[in-house]
Amino acid sequence: MHDPAVLRSIHRARFQAEPAVFVAPGRVNLIGEHTDYAEGFVMPAAINFATLAGISPRTDGKIVIYSENFKEEKTFEAAALPAAAGKHWSDYPIGVAVILAGEGHAIPGFSLSLWGDVPLGSGLSSSAALEVVTALAVLSLIGASYPGPVLARLCQRVENEFVGANCGIMDQFISANGKEDHALLLDCRDLSFKLAPIPHNIALVIANTMVKHSIAGGDYPTRRAESEAACAVIASHRPGVPFLRDATLEDLEKWGHEMAPKSLMRARHVISENLRTVAAEKALERGDLEELGRLMAEAHTSYSKDFEGSCAEADAMVELAQDLPGLIGARLTGGGFGGCTINLVEQSHAAAFSEALASRYAARTGIVPEIHICHASGGAHKLD
Ligand code: GAF
């Protein structure tokens, strides 16, 4: 994580004011992909890449947001917040102000400095980190606060209602509620969760394919729509199935022939992924790492073949990891179509594993990957 003292001095120099400073992490999802918007299960962990925000009040009614990453400043009027997103990085922080205003909060002028090290467009939830850290900062400025799950919902609404990305709750939830050394088995229906301890001898090795990932593009909403179309077919026979969370593989056997072939494939992924995610938490809990690895491998195949959410580079990254010493399990993580793979690796092998994977991947694809040895971190909070 970047040094908060540096952000403080950036903020002071730019705005001549002392900021309150907050942090929100990115995330990696161990298993449970495209199940969140089906009200199913996910098992993410917050990671030690994060976005920092410094905030101080202003008296001129302006909201001035500076991004150290983009070296760019953007100004808004607090009394006339934008009605629509501008396809710009500032959509995320100003979207938070818009959603909070819609909740009845009076939004004052403020200066906000942002600086993060969550790799952008890599499927590690840089945008969720940006939303959550901004929400914490603005809420503290106006003397309000929300429980973590409510904060996560508000930030999800920034994506859904302001930015225009039809994502689920996973990324905002884990950024707001992550716990050091733990993954969370999250039930996306009622937002209850179970802490899943990650043993100290397991490293989270995150391998970036360097293929850009975006959930705003066409593929994410298309897959979501296809899976929801399958659910509608099941619901026409069995009304107790509002979401694929409620469906079974037997439902697909009975009524799959009424679905478009792609819809059937998407639904098979989502339904089986829910089962795998719950099973993976149990395997982790009883220390059955072989079973955990098997479930991750199965999840990747399902994501790649049935959901068609992978890409040649991510498939290669997973395949090339298979026989490396120390690997417990590998799969593509996050929204898909690029981004990163998550590799659970025995800590003592993590460095050699990363080096070998990087050179194999470069030799196979001609792309130099970025590989990070991460650990599960705490959720968003204020920094002293
Ligand atoms: C992206 C979305 F933002 C999440 O809500 C989730 O659907 C994920 O893709 C896929 O599991 O990260």
| pLDDT given for residue 327 in this prediction | 98
For 320-346, give one letter per residue: b (16+ CB within 10 A) or e. bbeebebbbbbbbbbbbbbbbbbbbbb
Q: Is residue 262 within a helix (H) or strand (E), and if so which, with residue range?
A: helix 261-285
Mutate to test the pocket of ligand 1, among 36, 92, 155, 245 (most ligand atoms within 8 A of CB): 36
Residue 213, pLDDT score: 73
The predicted pLDDT at position 217 comes to 67
Atom of ligand 1 at shortest distance to CA of 215? 1
Name the percent of the chain in helix, strand, coil, to the closest 5.
45, 20, 35
Tokens of 230: 């399958």
Q: φ and ψ at 76, to 5 degrees?
A: -130, 165
The pLDDT assigned to 216 comes to: 64
Catalytic residue, from 36, 91, 171, 246: name it.
Answer: 171
Ligand 1 centroid–CA 222 distance in Å is 13
Q: For residue 376, what is the DSSP state?
A: B
Pick the closest to residue 28 from 124, 133, 146, 132 (CA basis): 124
Phi-psi region of 336 (alpha: psi -120 to 50; beta: other; left: phi over 0): left
Residues present in the chain in total = 384
Decide if 117 is catalytic: no
Binding pocket residue ranges, ligand 1, CB within 6 Å: 33-34, 36-37, 167-168, 170-171, 215, 334-335
Low-confidence residues in the chain, pLDDT < 70: 214-217
Strands (E), 178-273: 182-187, 193-197, 202-208
CA distances from 268 to 223, 228, 232 (A): 12, 12, 14
Q: Which pLDDT belongs to residue 22?
A: 98
Q: Are 17 and 111 within 8 A, CB to CB?
A: yes
* 330 three-class SS: strand
Calpha distance 319→360 (Å, rounded): 10
Q: Using the atom order of ligand 1, give the atom closest to the CA of residue 168.
A: 5
Q: How far is CA 295 from the centre of its chain?
A: 20
Rg (CA), the chain: 21
Residues 245, 39 contacting (CB under 8 angstroms): yes
Sheet holding 370-374, edge to edge: 327-332, 340-346, 202-208, 370-374
DSSP 141: H
Q: Which of 171, 173, 266, 276 to mutate to test the pocket of ligand 1 (most atoms within 8 A of CB)?
A: 171
> CB–CB of 72/119 below 8 Å?
no
